[in-house]
Chain A
Amino acid sequence: MELGQKIKCEADRTAGFGKAIAAMPGCERLGSCIQCGACSGACPLSIYMDQSPRQVIALVRGDFKKQALSCNTIWLCSSCYACTVQCPREIGITDIMYALKQCAMSERAYPAGLSIPILARQFVRMVVRRGRITETRLVMRFFLQTNWKAAISSWRLGLNLIRTRRFGIRQQHIKQHLELAAMLAQAKNANAGGSP
């Protein structure tokens, strides 16, 4: 059995992290959390999360950046907003999850072996380059990068798509995709709080 230190000291905290997240859009009420757990109770995915949404809020508020960014919670969050509409303190929990995802993305701090952020990254790349998503192409790329065996094992799904004439292989794109890319480059990371 390996013994590791579990206690958290000052060195485990990142001063100002909680404040920075609270400064991001939709996260203003973070501080108001009373740790009631309504969010975790409402969340349909909390059974798979290593930290419940409530714990994530506690971690963020307590400046425990590393723990907050490395949990699987923020990635399992499907943005269903069940938590947000139930929170008695009107905290934008889903938006906080987004803020954490953005932060983890920009610092590549997400847990290794988690494929969800990879999909997000490829999605963004396709939008920047083409302006639109071609779902089948996106999914194929995703599987190739993460788990090509899974791609093969879902051959039946592919066949079905072909059968129902939905296997669109031609890349969709908009006319002004260069202009869009320029636009996005202009607006990149310009949000009010900045990335913490």
Chain B
Amino acid sequence: MSNDESIRTGFYVCHCGHNISDVVDCTAVARYASTLAGVMVSRDYKYMCSSPGQELIRQDILEHKLNRVVVASCSPLLHEHTFRNAVAAGGLNPFLFQMVNIREHDAWVHADRAAATAKAQALVSAAIRRVALHKPLQATRAPIHPDVLVVGGGIAGIHAALTLANAGKKVYLVERQPSIGGHMAQFDKTFPTLDCAACILTPKMSAVRSHKNIVLWTYSEVAKVDGYVGNYTVTVRRKARYVDENLCVGCQECIDACVFKVPKFPDPFNLGMSMQKPIYIPFPQAVPQAAVIDPDRCIQLKTGKCKKTCVEACADRKAINLNQKEQLLEIKVGSIITATGFKLFDAKRLPEYGYGRYPDVMTTIELERLVSSSGPTGGELRLRSGKPPTAVGFILCVGSRDMRTNRWCSRTCCMHSMKLAQIVRERTGAQVTVFYIDIRAPGKGYEEFYDRSLQQGVQFVRGRVAEVSDCALSPDEAGKLVIRVEDTLAGFVRRVPLDLVVLAVGMEPQADAQEMRRILNMSCSAEGWFLEKHPKMAPVSTFTDGVFIAGCCQGPKDIPDSIAQAGAAAAEALALIDAGGIDQEPNTAYIRGEECSGCKSCISLCPYAAISFDAEKQKAVINPALCKGCGTCVASCPSGSIGQNLFEDQEVFEEINGVLDYV
């Protein structure tokens, strides 16, 4: 737009129902704006974002030949796009527009009407002066690589991978453990339907294994991610398994042949309640169904002095390769779904519950393995003494809803405990008491499940247990674990003797969540859960475009919610891929070539590695596709030779002048 063309600005202030107009005098703001230089029309309207509101802008542009538009309303995060489109509909370049946030920045944070109205007018004055300097810009379009990386092979990752693969996209599924399946693989049954967990999970696990569009890398980790939405380069570290998973058929002959005649190392899948050998298959339904060798326990790998009976046993297939090395593989993907899950609260952190001291205090996941038919006892629930339990207590909220440990509600432990309570009653006939603070059963069919537990005779005592001890004060407490708790509903303190105490441990972010966050450049909430872009409107997106989250890495949730979220994340990824490309905000930095002295100071500062050095011209060059518009280089350039679209110095100065003008 040439300089001599006169500025004709349209100004609109939104009431946002009562959100803004209750505090800001919108009519006064409109009246004030109409007095400012270049303003041709100035209006206030109840809902600018509505269709009639947008139409107002379009009509005015045509009628009054406007060439600039300013809207004072809510946050640009919500509606900048809406209004840019309205401006474009009127035939103007959408970047000849400026939005003023007088809701979050004004009406919602102030109470004094006069002062809030004055603040709105100052901000409006700034925007109207700034927009005069706006230049027409063009959003660029970047291509999208159609392949997707899914990190984490629990139920969320599995579901996301299958959804994408079924849509014809190529998926890399990377899982840290030797098998996919995650926590769900450890469960006996699932609430509230009590269907067998393995029966509904294993078909999906096998589908992953056999899907032609899925590349499954277990025992692998994401080491590095470079690039930007649509164009990521990912380095995956594949740990040495010492068994070729394509040759291994899971016959277990190597395991039988291992020089360790009896298993003597704690089996992590059964939480140490059973033993395994240095060469093992994690669990019967593991996918891939292939052995792994633990290098810390294998004699050959530790000392090089083993008879290698396993290798002999596999002489036909030659699947075992003790010389296998860790590999670093590089792949290109356009989007990434993070489904890295959670870890369980360590019950030892609450010594008052005696976990680790009393053998018959266990966690819910340990009990889960004990009642599972694939578990260490074949599903038979026994105390450490070998006797069946007669009185079992569940302590809820262990580590959750507690300022000393984790403040959040882990959302699944009430239901999980009630499920186990029903199973324990069914299998052993024991008296089961659940000690709770609140019962949280908000899912579909969950309240009914709670009622069923009540009806079946599970006792519920409302009160947070203070201590578990084995100090008997009376003969009927002898040899028992005694819980001390206030029954807050009956109104007295109780001592309850039990022989098995189950701790419903809560969920926590993975130990290495921060590292994962750095690798993928995501944000975390203060608690360490990966942060969604908006808690309601963008629950599976992150602040990094093209990176999505699903399942418990975002926060505690149950299986149905994890799967729903995984589906949503897959859909978001598909939407991105199938759009064919993405518009990029043209707020990129650019180098005024003639002025750059080639000092290179900007290059190392750019967090997105968008600046390279043109050795021939001895000047820095910014790749607009990589630039995120953060402005670091602009501020750092000693010769002031970097400019930035939409944030030109003059634009910013005019904005400041506009505020100063008002005051």
Contacts and interface: CB of A to CB of B under 8 A. Distances in A.
Contacts of A59: 490
Interface in B476-507: 476-477, 487, 489-497
A65 interface: no
A8 B494 contact: yes
Contacts of B487: 8, 58, 62
B461 A62 contact: yes
Contact of A64 (B457, B473, B490, B495): B490
Interface-centre pick from A10, A32, A54, A59 (highest chain B CB count, 10 A): A10
A11 interface: yes
Interface string A22-43: 0000000101111100000000
A29 B455 CA distance: 7
Interface residues of B, number: 25
Name, among A58, A59, A89, the residue most crowded by chain B CB atoms within 10 Å (CB to CB). Answer: A58
Contacts of A54: 489
Given A58-B487, A62-B461, A62-B487, A7 B492 contact: yes
A152 B492 CA distance: 42
Contact of B462 (A6, A7, A35, A51): A35
Nearest to A52: B491
Contact of B473 (A9, A19, A31, A58): A9
A130 interface: no
A55 B495 contact: no
A34 B494 contact: no
B233 interface: no
Nearest to A32: B454
A101 interface: no
A40 to B, nearest CB: 11
B253 interface: no
A155 to B, nearest CB: 43
A58 B433 CA distance: 13
A8 B495 CA distance: 6
Main secondary structure of the interface of B (DSSP, over half): mixed
Interface string B444-482: 000000110011110111100000000001101100000
Nearest to A89: B451
A10 B490 contact: no
A28 B215 CA distance: 56
B535 to A, nearest CB: 29
B429 to A, nearest CB: 14
B491 A55 contact: yes
B462 A10 contact: no
A62 B495 contact: no
Given A9-B495, A10-B496, A62-B487, A31 B474 contact: no
A184 to B, nearest CB: 34
A64 to B, nearest CB: 7
Nearest to B453: A31
A96 B331 CA distance: 69
B455 A31 contact: yes
A73 B439 CA distance: 27
Interface string A108-127: 00000000000000000000
Contacts of B461: 62
B129 to A, nearest CB: 60
26 contacts: A6-B493, A7-B492, A7-B494, A8-B490, A8-B492, A8-B493, A8-B494, A9-B473, A9-B474, A9-B495, A10-B476, A10-B495, A29-B455, A31-B454, A31-B456, A31-B457, A32-B451, A32-B454, A33-B454, A34-B439, A34-B450, A55-B490, A58-B490, A61-B459, A62-B487, A64-B490
Cβ-closest 9 pairs across A and B? A58-B490, A7-B493, A10-B476, A9-B495, A58-B489, A35-B489, A8-B494, A32-B454, A31-B454
Interface of B: 439, 450-451, 454-457, 459-462, 473-474, 476-477, 487, 489-497
Given A11-B474, A58-B490, 10 more contacts: A8-B490, A9-B474, A10-B497, A11-B476, A32-B451, A51-B491, A55-B489, A55-B491, A59-B490, A64-B490
